[in-house]
Each structure stands twice: as structure tokens, then as C-alpha cells.
Amino acid sequence: MIPLEGGIDLGPLLPEHLSELIAGFVLFVIIFVVVWKFVVPRFEETYAERTAEIAGGIEKAEAAQAEAAAALAEYKAQLAEARAEGAKIREDAKAQGAAAAAEIREAAAADAERLVANARAQIQAERAAVVAALRGEIGGLATQLAGRIVGESLDDDERARRTVDLFLTELEAQPAEKA
């Protein structure tokens, strides 16, 4: 070892060879340049890519979420619309049903009325016929009865019918007055 000028032996604290210093310097600089030019840029590039990809993924996920939310809103709107439509259809059906029922009822009422009217007319006609028939019969009977009571044959038909008619008119007028 080289003693210093003062005579202190620094021992292993001084480089044995100057080459150690130079070698250490040069070798380290070589490593540094390689790491600087190739290694760090490659790693950082990958990291940047990864960050970008993750950020992109998050964006994509956000977009998907927004899309899903929009779809949900749309479905809800559609559902509400369908519900409203259904309600409307039900309402309409109810109204229609009511109208139909009213119509049927009306028709039935009209039928019933017509039937009643028919019946009434028939009754009227029958009554008229009966009245006519009765009138003739009762006239005959009455005449016969009167003839028998009077005991004489009434030749004068004209007179006899007038008498009967008069009698019947009176007879007819009586219950009407009473009612």
C-alpha cells in the first residue's frame, strides 16, 4: 500500500489499482446508459399502456352502465305506456260493455213494449170481435126473450133492432159511467 506523505498507511482505504476507479466508473456508466436508453423506457411504456387500458376499461364500463340505465328508463317508460294503454282499453271495454248492455236493455224494452202493444191490440181486436159477436147474440137472445115476454112476433125487424141497439147503448154507457 502507498503510505501518505505524512507516513500514515491508509491500507485498504486507498485503491490498490487506479484501474478499480476507472473500471467502476466505466462499468457503471455502461449499465446506466443501457438502463436509461432501453430498460426504463420499456417499463414506463408498458406502465403507461396499462394505465391507459385500465382507464379505457373504466370508461367502457361507465358507458355500459349509462347504456343500461338508459335501457332501463326506456323499459320503464314502455311499461308505463303499456299500463296506461291497458287501463284505457279496460276503460273502453267497460264503457262499451255498458253501452252494449244499455242497448240490449233498450232493445228488450222496445221488444217488450211492442209485445205488449201487440197483445193489447189483439186483445182490443178480440174484444171488439167478442163485443160484435155478443152484440148479435145478445140482440137475438134479447129479442127472443122480449118476443117471448111480449108474446108476440115482432115482424117489424127494423123497429126491433133499433130498440135493441138503444138498449145496448144504454147498457154500454152504464159501466163506463160507473168506472
Partner 1 sequence: MPGLIGLLIPLEWTACAAEESHSEGFAPGVASFCARPLFPELGEQFSWLNNVLAQAVIGTILVIAFWLWVSSRQKVVPGKRQFFGELAYNFIRNGIARDMLGHDYRKFLPYLVALFSFILVNNLFGQFFVFMFPTFSKIGYAWALAALTFLLYNGVGIYKHGFLKYLKNNTIPAGVPAWIYPLIVPLEFLSNFVIRPITLGLRLFANLFGGHLVILVFVVGGTLLLTTTEELAGKPIWLLQTAGGFSLVFSFALFALELFVSVMQAYIFTVLTAQYVATALADEH
- The residues of the shown chain that bind partner 1, judged by CB under 8 A, are 1-2, 11-25, 27-32, 34-36, 38-40, 42-46, 49-50, 53
Nearer to partner 1, 28 or 75 (CB): 28
- Least Cβ distance, residue 44 to partner 1 (angstroms): 7
Record the cell numbers describing residue 171, joined without a space.
Answer: 147498457
- Least Cβ distance, residue 37 to partner 1 (angstroms): 8
Backbone torsions φ then ψ of 7, nearest 5 degrees: 95, 5
- Least Cβ distance, residue 52 to partner 1 (angstroms): 9
Nearer to partner 1, 13 or 150 (CB): 13
- Least Cβ distance, residue 14 to partner 1 (angstroms): 7
Nearer to partner 1, 6 or 12 (CB): 12
Nearer to partner 1, 37 or 120 (CB): 37
- Least Cβ distance, residue 57 to partner 1 (angstroms): 11
Residues 123, 115 contacting (CB under 8 angstroms): no
The Cβ-side half-sphere exposure at 100, using a 13 Å CA radius, reads 6
Angle at 92 between CA 89 and CA 98, to 5 degrees: 140
Nearer to partner 1, 38 or 75 (CB): 38
Residues 144, 164 contacting (CB under 8 angstroms): no
3-class state of residue 9 by DSSP = strand
Q: Using CA atoms, how far apart are residues 174 and 157, in angstroms rounded to an integer?
A: 26
CA-CA distances (angstroms) from residue 4 to 9, 10, 22?
A: 6, 7, 21
The one-character DSSP state at 6 is: T
